[in-house]
Chain A
Amino acid sequence: DAGITQSPRHKVTETGTPVTLRCHQTENHRYMYWYRQDPGHGLRLIHYSYGVKDTDKGEVSDGYSVSRSKTEDFLLTLESATSSQTSVYFCAISESGRPPYEQYFGPGTRLTVT
Protein backbone atom coordinates (compact mmCIF):
# COMPACT_ATOMS: atom_id res chain seq x y z
CA ASP A 1 0.00 0.00 0.00
CA ALA A 2 1.13 3.51 -0.78
CA GLY A 3 2.39 5.34 2.28
CA ILE A 4 -0.36 7.88 2.79
CA THR A 5 -1.74 8.89 6.15
CA GLN A 6 -4.41 11.40 7.02
CA SER A 7 -5.00 13.12 10.32
CA PRO A 8 -7.23 13.35 12.14
CA ARG A 9 -9.30 10.38 11.01
CA HIS A 10 -12.42 11.72 12.66
CA LYS A 11 -13.32 15.22 13.78
CA VAL A 12 -16.40 16.96 15.06
CA THR A 13 -16.32 20.73 15.07
CA GLU A 14 -18.70 23.63 15.40
CA THR A 15 -19.86 25.97 12.67
CA GLY A 16 -17.55 28.92 12.25
CA THR A 17 -14.41 27.31 13.64
CA PRO A 18 -11.27 26.80 11.56
CA VAL A 19 -10.24 23.24 10.78
CA THR A 20 -7.05 21.87 9.24
CA LEU A 21 -6.72 18.38 7.81
CA ARG A 22 -3.33 16.91 7.11
CA CYS A 23 -2.19 14.50 4.44
CA HIS A 24 1.26 12.97 4.76
CA GLN A 25 2.99 10.77 2.18
CA THR A 26 6.22 8.81 2.26
CA GLU A 27 6.34 8.08 -1.48
CA ASN A 28 7.94 11.34 -2.61
CA HIS A 29 5.22 11.77 -5.24
CA ARG A 30 4.97 15.16 -6.87
CA TYR A 31 1.19 15.45 -7.14
CA MET A 32 -1.23 15.54 -4.23
CA TYR A 33 -4.99 15.98 -4.22
CA TRP A 34 -7.84 16.64 -1.84
CA TYR A 35 -11.25 15.16 -2.65
CA ARG A 36 -14.49 15.16 -0.75
CA GLN A 37 -17.06 12.41 -0.97
CA ASP A 38 -20.75 12.91 -0.32
CA PRO A 39 -23.75 10.69 -0.97
CA GLY A 40 -25.13 11.34 -4.45
CA HIS A 41 -22.08 13.32 -5.56
CA GLY A 42 -19.29 10.80 -5.65
CA LEU A 43 -15.75 12.07 -5.31
CA ARG A 44 -15.15 15.73 -6.12
CA LEU A 45 -11.80 17.44 -6.36
CA ILE A 46 -11.25 20.36 -3.97
CA HIS A 47 -7.64 21.40 -4.58
CA TYR A 48 -4.52 19.81 -5.90
CA SER A 49 -0.79 20.41 -5.81
CA TYR A 50 1.81 19.82 -8.50
CA GLY A 51 4.82 20.60 -6.35
CA VAL A 52 6.00 22.39 -3.24
CA LYS A 53 4.13 25.68 -2.99
CA ASP A 54 2.37 24.97 -6.29
CA THR A 55 -1.35 24.50 -5.87
CA ASP A 56 -4.51 25.05 -7.85
CA LYS A 57 -8.25 24.85 -7.44
CA GLY A 58 -10.46 21.94 -8.23
CA GLU A 59 -14.18 21.94 -8.90
CA VAL A 60 -15.41 22.61 -5.33
CA SER A 61 -12.74 24.88 -3.86
CA ASP A 62 -14.95 27.59 -2.31
CA GLY A 63 -14.46 27.73 1.45
CA TYR A 64 -11.22 25.74 1.34
CA SER A 65 -7.56 26.64 1.16
CA VAL A 66 -4.47 24.46 0.92
CA SER A 67 -0.79 24.68 1.54
CA ARG A 68 2.18 22.55 0.65
CA SER A 69 5.45 23.62 2.23
CA LYS A 70 7.08 20.20 1.96
CA THR A 71 6.81 17.43 -0.60
CA GLU A 72 5.37 15.06 1.94
CA ASP A 73 2.65 17.23 3.48
CA PHE A 74 -0.50 18.72 1.97
CA LEU A 75 -2.79 20.63 4.30
CA LEU A 76 -6.46 21.40 3.72
CA THR A 77 -7.93 24.26 5.76
CA LEU A 78 -11.55 25.17 6.25
CA GLU A 79 -11.27 28.79 7.33
CA SER A 80 -14.73 28.89 8.87
CA ALA A 81 -16.43 25.51 8.83
CA THR A 82 -20.04 25.25 7.69
CA SER A 83 -22.49 22.38 7.93
CA SER A 84 -22.28 21.90 4.15
CA GLN A 85 -18.64 20.91 4.63
CA THR A 86 -19.63 17.85 6.61
CA SER A 87 -18.14 15.13 4.48
CA VAL A 88 -15.49 12.46 4.13
CA TYR A 89 -12.23 13.92 2.86
CA PHE A 90 -9.70 11.87 0.92
CA CYS A 91 -6.17 12.74 0.05
CA ALA A 92 -4.56 11.17 -3.01
CA ILE A 93 -1.08 11.16 -4.51
CA SER A 94 0.25 10.62 -7.98
CA GLU A 95 3.78 10.31 -9.23
CA SER A 96 3.20 11.76 -12.66
CA GLY A 97 1.06 14.39 -14.33
CA ARG A 98 1.08 12.48 -17.60
CA PRO A 99 -1.05 9.49 -18.53
CA PRO A 100 -1.66 6.98 -17.09
CA TYR A 101 -2.97 8.72 -14.02
CA GLU A 102 -2.66 6.24 -11.24
CA GLN A 103 -3.68 7.85 -8.01
CA TYR A 104 -3.33 6.33 -4.58
CA PHE A 105 -5.72 7.34 -1.86
CA GLY A 106 -5.43 7.76 1.86
CA PRO A 107 -7.83 6.27 4.42
CA GLY A 108 -9.99 9.40 4.68
CA THR A 109 -11.03 11.89 7.34
CA ARG A 110 -14.64 12.00 8.45
CA LEU A 111 -15.53 15.57 9.34
CA THR A 112 -18.76 16.57 11.01
CA VAL A 113 -19.64 20.24 11.37
CA THR A 114 -22.42 20.84 13.90
Chain B
Amino acid sequence: DAKTTQPTSMDCAEGRAANLPCNHSTISGNEYVYWYRQIHSQGPQYIIHGLKNNETNEMASLIITEDRKSSTLILPHATLRDTAVYYCIVRARLMEYGNKLVFGAGTILRVKS
Protein backbone atom coordinates (compact mmCIF):
# COMPACT_ATOMS: atom_id res chain seq x y z
CA ASP B 1 0.00 0.00 0.00
CA ALA B 2 1.07 3.54 -0.64
CA LYS B 3 2.20 5.02 2.66
CA THR B 4 1.40 8.47 3.88
CA THR B 5 3.44 10.66 6.17
CA GLN B 6 1.77 13.38 8.18
CA PRO B 7 2.96 15.52 11.06
CA THR B 8 1.86 14.15 14.40
CA SER B 9 0.30 17.42 15.48
CA MET B 10 -0.17 21.05 14.47
CA ASP B 11 -1.53 24.18 16.04
CA CYS B 12 -3.47 26.91 14.27
CA ALA B 13 -4.89 30.22 15.44
CA GLU B 14 -8.62 30.63 15.15
CA GLY B 15 -9.58 32.49 11.99
CA ARG B 16 -6.34 31.71 10.23
CA ALA B 17 -5.83 29.18 7.47
CA ALA B 18 -4.79 25.71 8.54
CA ASN B 19 -2.46 23.98 6.11
CA LEU B 20 -2.07 20.27 6.70
CA PRO B 21 0.65 18.54 4.67
CA CYS B 22 0.81 14.94 3.57
CA ASN B 23 3.59 13.09 1.80
CA HIS B 24 2.68 10.15 -0.40
CA SER B 25 5.72 9.56 -2.58
CA THR B 26 4.73 6.01 -3.59
CA ILE B 27 1.30 6.92 -4.89
CA SER B 28 0.43 5.30 -8.19
CA GLY B 29 -1.18 6.99 -11.13
CA ASN B 30 -4.76 5.91 -10.54
CA GLU B 31 -4.89 6.40 -6.77
CA TYR B 32 -6.92 9.19 -5.30
CA VAL B 33 -5.94 11.31 -2.33
CA TYR B 34 -8.63 11.43 0.34
CA TRP B 35 -8.92 13.50 3.46
CA TYR B 36 -11.07 12.60 6.42
CA ARG B 37 -11.22 14.02 9.89
CA GLN B 38 -12.40 12.73 13.22
CA ILE B 39 -13.62 15.02 15.91
CA HIS B 40 -13.31 13.61 19.39
CA SER B 41 -15.78 10.79 20.09
CA GLN B 42 -17.39 11.06 16.66
CA GLY B 43 -17.17 8.95 13.51
CA PRO B 44 -14.72 9.93 10.78
CA GLN B 45 -16.03 12.58 8.43
CA TYR B 46 -15.25 12.74 4.73
CA ILE B 47 -13.75 16.10 3.71
CA ILE B 48 -12.48 16.01 0.14
CA HIS B 49 -10.69 13.92 -2.44
CA GLY B 50 -8.62 14.54 -5.58
CA LEU B 51 -6.68 12.76 -8.27
CA LYS B 52 -4.50 15.25 -10.11
CA ASN B 53 -6.17 18.63 -10.05
CA ASN B 54 -6.65 20.90 -7.08
CA GLU B 55 -10.09 20.63 -5.57
CA THR B 56 -12.28 22.89 -3.46
CA ASN B 57 -15.55 22.34 -1.69
CA GLU B 58 -17.47 24.03 1.07
CA MET B 59 -15.22 22.58 3.73
CA ALA B 60 -11.70 22.78 2.36
CA SER B 61 -9.27 22.97 -0.53
CA LEU B 62 -6.92 20.24 -1.62
CA ILE B 63 -3.67 21.14 -3.33
CA ILE B 64 -1.83 18.27 -5.02
CA THR B 65 1.69 18.78 -6.32
CA GLU B 66 2.32 18.21 -9.99
CA ASP B 67 4.30 15.01 -9.33
CA ARG B 68 1.49 13.90 -6.94
CA LYS B 69 3.99 12.96 -4.26
CA SER B 70 2.50 15.31 -1.71
CA SER B 71 -0.63 17.27 -0.99
CA THR B 72 -1.92 19.94 1.36
CA LEU B 73 -5.35 20.24 2.88
CA ILE B 74 -6.32 23.85 3.51
CA LEU B 75 -9.02 24.92 5.93
CA PRO B 76 -9.33 28.59 4.94
CA HIS B 77 -10.65 30.03 8.20
CA ALA B 78 -10.15 27.55 11.01
CA THR B 79 -12.55 27.56 13.92
CA LEU B 80 -12.42 25.84 17.28
CA ARG B 81 -14.79 23.22 15.90
CA ASP B 82 -12.12 22.21 13.38
CA THR B 83 -10.00 20.75 16.18
CA ALA B 84 -9.75 17.10 15.18
CA VAL B 85 -7.51 14.34 13.87
CA TYR B 86 -7.05 14.71 10.11
CA TYR B 87 -6.32 11.65 8.03
CA CYS B 88 -4.68 11.68 4.62
CA ILE B 89 -5.41 8.46 2.74
CA VAL B 90 -4.03 7.53 -0.64
CA ARG B 91 -4.82 3.88 -0.79
CA ALA B 92 -8.06 2.07 -0.74
CA ARG B 93 -7.11 -1.57 -0.82
CA LEU B 94 -9.16 -3.13 -3.51
CA MET B 95 -11.05 -6.24 -2.68
CA GLU B 96 -13.07 -8.24 -5.10
CA TYR B 97 -16.34 -6.47 -4.47
CA GLY B 98 -15.49 -3.53 -2.34
CA ASN B 99 -12.81 -1.31 -1.00
CA LYS B 100 -11.16 -0.45 2.24
CA LEU B 101 -9.87 2.87 3.38
CA VAL B 102 -6.53 2.48 5.13
CA PHE B 103 -6.32 5.00 7.94
CA GLY B 104 -2.95 5.98 9.34
CA ALA B 105 -2.23 7.86 12.54
CA GLY B 106 -3.24 11.24 11.13
CA THR B 107 -2.43 14.78 12.28
CA ILE B 108 -3.94 16.21 15.44
CA LEU B 109 -4.95 19.77 14.59
CA ARG B 110 -5.53 22.05 17.55
CA VAL B 111 -7.23 25.33 16.77
CA LYS B 112 -6.58 27.86 19.49
CA SER B 113 -8.34 31.10 20.28
Interface residues of A (CB under 8 A from B): 31, 33, 42-43, 45, 48-51, 54, 56, 58-59, 90, 92, 94, 97, 99-108
Contacts and interface: CB of A to CB of B under 8 A. Distances in A.
Given A42-B105, A99-B30, A94 B99 contact: yes
Contacts of A102: 34, 46, 49
Interface stretch (B6-14, B19-27, B37-45, B73-81): B37-45
The dominant DSSP class at the A interface is strand
A100 B100 contact: no
A56 B98 contact: yes
A56 B44 contact: no
Nearest to B104: A42
A56 B95 contact: yes
Nearest to B106: A42
30 contacts: A33-B100, A42-B103, A42-B104, A42-B105, A43-B103, A48-B95, A48-B98, A49-B98, A50-B97, A51-B97, A56-B96, A58-B100, A59-B100, A90-B44, A94-B98, A97-B97, A97-B99, A99-B30, A99-B32, A100-B51, A101-B34, A101-B101, A102-B34, A103-B46, A104-B46, A105-B43, A107-B42, A107-B43, A108-B41, A108-B43
Interface residues of B, number: 24
B30 A50 contact: no
Contact of B32 (A49, A100, A105): A100
Question: What 8 pairs between A and B have smallest CB-CB spacing?
Answer: A105-B43, A50-B97, A43-B103, A101-B92, A101-B99, A42-B103, A105-B44, A100-B32
- Main secondary structure, interface of B, reads loop
Nearest to A58: B100
Nearest to A110: B41
Interface string B45-89: 110010100000000000000000000000000000000000000
Contacts of B103: 42-43
A98 B96 CA distance: 11
Contacts of A105: 43-45
A94 B49 CA distance: 14
Contacts of B49: 100, 102
